[in-house]
Amino acid sequence: MLTVIVKEPQMAGEVRGKMVEGAALLLAKQGLQATSFSEVLKATGAPRGSIYHHFPEGKDQLVDAALELVAGRMLAGLGELDGRGAVEITRYVIGAWRFVLDRSRLRAGCAVLAVTVAADSEPLLDRAAAIFRAWRARLTELYAAAGVEPAAAARFATSVIAATEGAVVLCRAERSLEPLELVGEELLERAAGL
């Protein structure tokens, strides 16, 4: 008896989502230049025709969608921290980066940072800047709601983003979680004193 396995056709949104997810991961692991359509197709198994269907404006459109995904995930996580204290908020951000580094075996970092350091496209740089501003603004709101004076909340939110992003870069270069652990200890100590 001959058995034929018929795959359900993927919904268009599923293919697009898979490609965006793949691009976000490739950006985090390989950077902007190495995140080509070919690499995204290879990583996701999406059909070649889906490139032109879902991203007719080219690579920047795909990268923008990947940045939107990454930004939304961080903001969603921060959205669960309403009413928490400064230490817990800070611990969450440190933990989010520890998760990325652990899961990728120290091979992935921040897709937004990857675009920031490599893009020559003004719209992509503007998008990355808007994401960092949104993360800082949300952290500032959370710290202020936790009782931190607004100007101090804004300074500390910026320090948390800058320090953790830098620590992730060091972790990847040194192939060790130690930089994030050290930065994390410092940030948590400062958070406790706010």
Instruction: Name residues whose C-beta falls within 8 Å of residue 120's C-beta, 6 or more positions apart in sequence.
Output: none
Contact 140, 157 (CB under 8 A): yes
pLDDT in tens, the chain (194 residues): 333 333 333 444 588 889 899 999 999 999 988 888 888 888 888 888 888 888 888 889 999 999 999 999 999 999 999 999 999 999 999 999 999 999 999 999 999 999 999 988 999 999 999 999 999 999 999 999 999 999 999 999 999 999 999 999 999 999 999 999 999 999 999 999 99
- Of the candidates 1, 121, 3, 143, the residue with the CA atom closest to the CA atom of residue 62: 121
Contact 89, 153 (CB under 8 A): no
Cα 34 to Cα 49: distance, rounded to the nearest angstrom: 20
Tokens at residue 107, please? 């091979």
Contact 172, 107 (CB under 8 A): yes
Question: Where do the structural domains in the chain lie, given as residue ranges?
Answer: 12-192
pTM here is 0.87
Q: Is 106 left (phi over 0), alpha (psi -120 to 50) or beta?
A: left
CATH superfamily of 12-192: Tetracycline Repressor, domain 2 (1.10.357.10)
Residues 128-166 have pLDDT tens digits of 999 999 999 999 999 999 999 999 999 999 999 999 999
